[in-house]
Each structure stands twice: as structure tokens, then as C-alpha cells.
Structure 1
Amino acid sequence: MKNDRKCILLTVIIFLFIGVSQPTFAQSNDKTQIGSASWYGSKYHGRKTSSGERYNKNEMTAAHKTLPFGTMVKVTNPATDQSVILRINDRGPFVGNRIIDVSEAAARKLGMHSAGVAKVKVEVLDKSEVAAATADTKQGAIITQTTANRQQAEELSRKLRAFDKHLPLEIAEEQVNGQKVVLVKAGKFNNRNEAQAFNELLEEEGLAGKVSEA
């Protein structure tokens, strides 16, 4: 009898431990997950992810332990009331009970970059929901900066390349109000949201430009 009681007590303890330690799932929607999120940045920039893609800290991507690669999710930070649409292309996180690792650009948009970790809601989106959520951000985008001459443009390009060696760059000459200017066009972003997130990173280095459609 004592052994039976011990087994029952042990089962209850294990059940309670699992219930407390695992991330919380919304009862009404098995596509919604609530728990801690973290982000990963420069250290992993350019490295291969579990899907085979190169991790780009400036893109709207994320790592999840089980969701299929290519799954689109909406991640919301209730503390800042900010949301982002992310594509799963990596596995993780493998620290504690965290449920998702977002890119550095996504962390900035969510307002969790400084804190490093935040409680978030992760919602799996179907095709119609993805289309609705990204209806205004389908157009590709670039970041453009205007310089007076080619020498300044090349110097700016060197600084941008030092900031991100994978950043696509183009120098172009154009006429503006009858005067020749030299433009530095940076990036090939999927949409304005991605370009704006990256431009915020550039702003911290004094290298921000103007986001425009590609």
C-alpha cells in the first residue's frame, strides 16, 4: 500500500512539474502559443540555419522547436503592443522554456531588443491570414542615401559593408533639380517593414538612409 501511495504521489509531482514548466497554449486555439521569446543576432549572422538557409539578422525570421520550416507566424509582445510576421527557418531555442527565437530586426520591432527576453504570443497563420497581414508590405524595398560625389559614395559604401558584409550595395548617378548626385542604394528587402527595421540598426551607427520601394 505504501508503495502504491508513493507511486501516486510521484505521478502527481511529475504532472505538476510538467504543467508548470511547459509553455502555455491557449485553450481555444491550438495554433496559439504563449511563452518566453529571445533573439539572436550578429554572432550567428551569415551562419547556416537548420533549414540550410543563411541566418540574416535583418530579415523577419525565427527559430522554433517543432513548427515546419516555412511556417508563417504572428508574434505579439503584449508589453509593447507590437506585432511582426515571421517565417520559421531554424530550430530552437534550446534554453529553458523559451518557445521562439526571433531575428534581431524582429526583436527591435517587438521592443524586446534591450531586454533580450520577453513574454509573447505566437500565432500560426494560414495562407489567407498571411495574405491579409502582409497586404500592405508586399512591395520590395531598399534604403537610399544621397551623397555629393562618387568619393563620398564609395566611403559610405565601405562603412555599410563594414557594418554588414552581406549587404547588397549599388552606386548610381542621377540628376536631382538639375544637379548631379550620387546615390548609394542598400539592400534588397522583401518589404518596407524589413527595410525600416534594418534602417533602425543603421541609425545607431549614423548610417541611416531613406526607405523606398525597390
Structure 2
Amino acid sequence: MKKTVSLFIVFIAGSLSFHTFSQEKGKASFYAHKMQGRKTSSGEPYHSDSLTCAHRTYPFGTLLMVKNPENDKTVIVKVIDRGPSIKSRLIDLSYAAAKQLGIIRQGIAEIELKEWEFSPAPPIQSFDITKLAIPVETTIDISRKLISTYFKNHRMNRSSALD
């Protein structure tokens, strides 16, 4: 009995993390214009010009990368709603997201989606500070050289210029 319960727990845990490790394929549609300004399941209002979507299981706020395999266009969208209500569809996109993917004319299109994993810029490499080329001259030394060079080039007498 304990073995069965353990296997069941492992199965449930594995299925909960399914989104993180996989790519889903399915049909996408987009919201009708009449949804503009209406509240979504997350409480956020729908805006047709925002890059948002509805998905049945991803938590609100999750960023998804959606790809149109027909033209290789991709878009990153934020989950703000539940749906789509039609079971054969995987995701409902905002008008702006559908436009970026090039699926407005079709209305419904095959897409691929996966959770977008943000990867910031690579860390700055460490370096040995003793090997840095640090100028020995100070700002005052450099200023004196510049003034001296200026006076030499302009054949002026220092004392008369400074008076």
C-alpha cells in the first residue's frame, strides 16, 4: 500500500512540473474585440494591444513563449485569464499577440508553446585587479602637461598669460 501511495505522489509531482520541461503543441485562437476592457479571471482587464493570453493550467503571471511553426514568428505572452472555453484549443491570445504571430487572417492556427525562462545577461567575468593598466599620472600631472604643451605650441609666455 505504501508503495502505491509513493508511486501516486511521484506521478502527481511529475505531472505538476510537466509545463517546465515540455513544449505543448495545439491550436490557438484570439479574443474578440468585444472583450476589450472586460475583467479577466486574474482580475486584470483585457487590452487588445497587450501581449497576454488565457491558458487552462499555467498560473497567472506566467510568461509563455508562443511560436507559429508556419512562419517561425514568436511572441512572449503573460497568462492573465483561464481558457479557452473550446476544449480543442490550447490557448487564447490577445489580438496584439495573434497579430505578431501572423494568425489574424486564419483566426485559428497551430502553435507551439512553452514556459519562457528568462535568462539575464551572463555574469561579468572576474579579473585580477593587479593586472589592470592603471595610469600612474594623476589628473594634476596630466593638466600640467596639457598646459605646457599648449603654451609651447602657441609660443606664449607663461607669465603674461597667467597675469
Q: TM-score, normalised by structure 2?
A: 0.60
* Aligned partner of residue 83 in structure 1, secondary structure: strand
Structure 1 position 99 matched with structure 2 position 90: yes
Gaps of 5+ in 2: 1-17, 122-163
What is the CA-CA distance between 1:31 and the residue it aligns to?
3.0
**Which is strand-richer, 1 or 2?**
1
Gaps of 5+ in 1: 1-26, 133-214
What is the CA-CA distance between 1:80 and the residue it aligns to?
1.6
Q: Please give the alpha-carbon distance, in whole angstroms, between the structure 1 residues aligned to 2:56 and 2:107.
A: 19
Which amino acid is the alignment partner of residue 80 of structure 1? N
Q: Which of the pair has the greater relative contact order for Cα pairs under 8 Å at 6+ separation?
A: 2
What is the CA-CA distance between 1:96 and the residue it aligns to?
3.2
Q: Please give the alpha-carbon distance, in whole angstroms, between the structure 1 residues aligned to 2:75 and 2:28.
A: 13
Once the two structures are superposed, what CA deviation does each residue of 1:71-100 show, in whole Å capped at 9, x if it has no partner?
001000011211000000000001131000
* Conserved? CA contact 2:30–2:98, under 8 Å: yes
Determine which structure has more spread, i.e. the larger CA radius of gyration.
2
Which residue of structure 2 lines up, in the alignment, with residue 86 of structure 1? 77
Which residue of structure 2 lines up, in the alignment, with residue 70 of structure 1? 61
Once the two structures are superposed, what CA deviation does each residue of 1:101-126 show, in whole Å capped at 9, x if it has no partner?
00001111101001100000001022
Determine which of 14, 20, 31 is the counterpart of 2:22.
Answer: 31
Runs of 4+ in 1 over 4 A off after TM superposition: none
Q: Please give the alpha-carbon distance, in whole angstroms, between the structure 1 residues aligned to 2:70 and 2:48.
A: 23
* Conserved? CA contact 2:76–2:116, under 8 Å: no
Aligned CA-pair RMSD: 1.7
Which residue of structure 2 lines up, in the alignment, with residue 187 of structure 1? none
Once the two structures are superposed, what CA deviation does each residue of 1:35-77 show, in whole Å capped at 9, x if it has no partner?
0000013110000000000000100000000100000010000
Aligned pairs, number: 103
Which amino acid is the alignment partner of residue 101 of structure 1? D
Which residue of structure 2 lines up, in the alignment, with residue 206 of structure 1? none
